[in-house]
Structure 1
Amino acid sequence: MPLLTTDPPYRGIIHYEVYGKGRPVLFLHGWLGSWQLWRKTIEHVGGNFRTYSLDFWGFGESRGAGRREETVQEFSVDAFVDMVGQFMDKLGIPKAAVIGHSMGGTVAMSCALRYPDRIVKAVAVGAPIDGDSLYLLLKLGGNSALASLGFTFMPVLRGIIGTYIRFAAKDGQALQRMVLHDFSQTTSQSFFQSIRTLHNTDLTEKIGLIQQPLMGIYGKRDIIVGHKQGYLMQRLVPHSRLEMYSDAGHFPMLDEPERFISDISTFLEVR
């Protein structure tokens, strides 16, 4: 289980998995997720690329993200962008493509903006450009009082998440098992801080500055992030490529895996 330690202002431990050989590609998961989401994808993409699947601080096997001398932990979109930069520095990765799902997709687009000379391509999968596009249940997750109450009555919170997530993919039971396992590794702080900052993130004024190749993949049946965010990307970034999956929800890589792998492989292979 590879781990690395990052430096202030965001000190933490990053867990990641490496597979394949070739040009580097970073995979970023979404809220309440982990690197496990990408397991089947990297088995295919790793045939031509060196893949790095990261766990964000506070999720999966990663820990930390204390800021400066404060004792409070920070699990924000900005902190995760910093985490990606430090990860590349620590492993000596000068340039990379980045693929992110949901919250990870927002981080991927933010990385393209902050590191224009290092992020060569970005793919946003079911990702909010405007955090207000999140559906109501996720917005409620950013309320610290509600999150604290939920963690006090954990069986109830697990029941709510488990019931809702079953409708987010075709194989709802498999997704439910994966999400509830990943959820068990989060804390109340990483739970509500990350989704709160995602809700408050709005890239509509900045995303047009992205010069690198950018692709959005969205499912029309998404019940977590409004699929019209894909059309917003297409309008704000004219050179971007949009793939709209009519028969997929929030997890296109699970609902339509063959098309998903084909789309990202084609996008990555074009120099």
Structure 2
Amino acid sequence: MATIEILGVPHAYELTAPTSCPHALVFIHGWLNSRGYWQPVISRLSTDLQCLSYDLRGFGESQSLPETDSNRTQTSFDLTVKFGSALNSSVDSLYTPAAYAQDLVTLLQQLNIHSAWLIGHSLGGTIALWTATQMPECIKGVICINAGGGIYLKEAFEQFRAMGQRFLQLRPRWLSQMPLIDLLFTKASVARPLERYWARQRVIDFVVADPEASLGTLLDSTTEEEVNRLPQLVSQLQQPVYFLAGANDKVMEPKYVRHLASFHRLFQYSGDNVIEIPDCGHLAMLEQPEAVASHILSIVSVQESVVSGQ
């Protein structure tokens, strides 16, 4: 693991060795996750393509000094009041997808990566789309995994935000030490139970995530303005954009993935840029790493052939 400081926060990242391919793959994790979730996919791709994975600001190991449990509890309370009273005043927020996209722009520039495909999971997919708009020459394409949406359903989003805030308040440090707590995370949001190794990692990432970043990303990515902007982003991108959906994903159902994908020129009339993965929930890179890696390699190879043939 190496680190680069962005906005005063050390960002943890891992970069595999260069290959003969001129493009790097950049993996962006989702909410309350970390870069390690990409390892089953990266291990299958790094021979052919250079791979970069990193922890988003406030998650995994991309954090400032850790807080005590008492400070975390007070911070969570303060933030609930702060964000709850100003949901629509996030123009200057550090936690919008656009702000995280700027972090990634800085990271790529500092690592001298000038040609890349972005692979984003869930919230990471939104960050990938924003980054592609900010770096049109550098970003050759985007692959969103378990990511979609673009339809603002007021009641549903309000319930989602309320549940998310309650969820975040139940995070004492000692939670990760509770016997068998990881068993709850083997089945959450997936089609088939995960290995306990990954369940334990989910518990750790849930507990250590920075309170402000956790709540800020939850709220700033689900405003009406932000959700309605997604289709505009997709429609404006000139780069190829593909979507991998879990057939059994209950968090981001395939119909919502197809909806967002339909705004890109590659969708045409039959959803040519949507690939549905059978027997897969919301964590495709852990549930079906072989399929995800195969689809990524195929997409990048096909698009490279298209560019070469022009």
Provide TM-score, normalisation by structure 1: 0.84
Deviation at 1:12, TM superposition (A): 2.2
Work out whether 1:40 is the aligned partner of 2:67. Answer: no
Which of the residues 218, 227, 230 maps onto 1:195? 218
Cα deviation, 1:176-219, whole Å, max 9, x if unaligned, reads 32211211221211211111122122212231011101110011
Q: Following the alignment from structure 2 to structure 1, what is the Cα–Cα distance between the partners of residues 183 and 218?
A: 17
CA RMSD of aligned residues (A): 2.9
| Structure 2 contact 148–259 (Cα < 8 Å) conserved | no
Q: Following the alignment from structure 1 to structure 2, what is the Cα–Cα distance between the partners of residues 266 and 139?
A: 36
Q: Following the alignment from structure 1 to structure 2, what is the Cα–Cα distance between the partners of residues 155 and 63?
A: 20
Q: Following the alignment from structure 1 to structure 2, what is the Cα–Cα distance between the partners of residues 102 and 5?
A: 25
Which of the residues 202, 213, 237 maps onto 1:210? 237
Identity %: 22
Which amino acid in 2 is paired with 1:125?
I
| Structure 1 contact 141–191 (Cα < 8 Å) conserved | no
Which amino acid in 2 is paired with 1:17?
E
| Structure 1 contact 141–196 (Cα < 8 Å) conserved | no
Work out whether 1:242 is the aligned partner of 2:274. Answer: yes
Work out whether 1:125 is the aligned partner of 2:157. Answer: no
Cα deviation, 1:49-105, whole Å, max 9, x if unaligned, reads 1111010000011025xxxxxxx9833312210011000111111221110101101
| Structure 1 contact 135–223 (Cα < 8 Å) conserved | no
Which of the residues 171, 184, 189 maps onto 1:168? 189
Choose between structure 1 and 2: higher helix proportion.
2
Work out whether 1:20 is the aligned partner of 2:14. Answer: no
Q: Following the alignment from structure 1 to structure 2, what is the Cα–Cα distance between the partners of residues 40 and 160?
A: 23
Work out whether 1:115 is the aligned partner of 2:109. Answer: no
| Structure 2 contact 121–144 (Cα < 8 Å) conserved | yes
Cα deviation, 1:102-150, whole Å, max 9, x if unaligned, reads 110111111112221111111000113437588887533554xx46743
Q: Following the alignment from structure 1 to structure 2, what is the Cα–Cα distance between the partners of residues 17 and 153?
A: 26
Q: SS where residue 218 of structure 2 aligns?
A: helix
Q: SS where residue 212 of structure 1 aligns?
A: coil
Structure ID, larger Rg:
2
Q: SS where residue 87 of structure 1 aligns?
A: helix
| Structure 2 contact 173–207 (Cα < 8 Å) conserved | no
Correspondence 1:1-271 to 2 at 5 A: 1-6=1-6, 10-22=7-19, 23-63=23-63, 74-130=94-150, 132=152, 138-140=160-162, 143=165, 146=166, 149-151=169-171, 155=175, 163=184, 166-169=187-190, 170-172=192-194, 174=196, 175-200=198-223, 201-202=226-227, 203-240=230-267, 241-270=273-302, 271=304
Which amino acid in 1 is paired with 2:213?
S
Deviation at 1:227, TM superposition (A): 2.2
Which amino acid in 1 is paired with 2:240?
P
Deviation at 1:154, TM superposition (A): 7.5
Provide TM-score, normalisation by structure 2: 0.74
Structure 2 gaps, min length 5: 65-91, 268-272, 305-310
Structure 1 gaps, min length 5: 65-71
| Structure 1 contact 102–127 (Cα < 8 Å) conserved | yes
Q: Following the alignment from structure 1 to structure 2, what is the Cα–Cα distance between the partners of residues 233 and 141?
A: 24
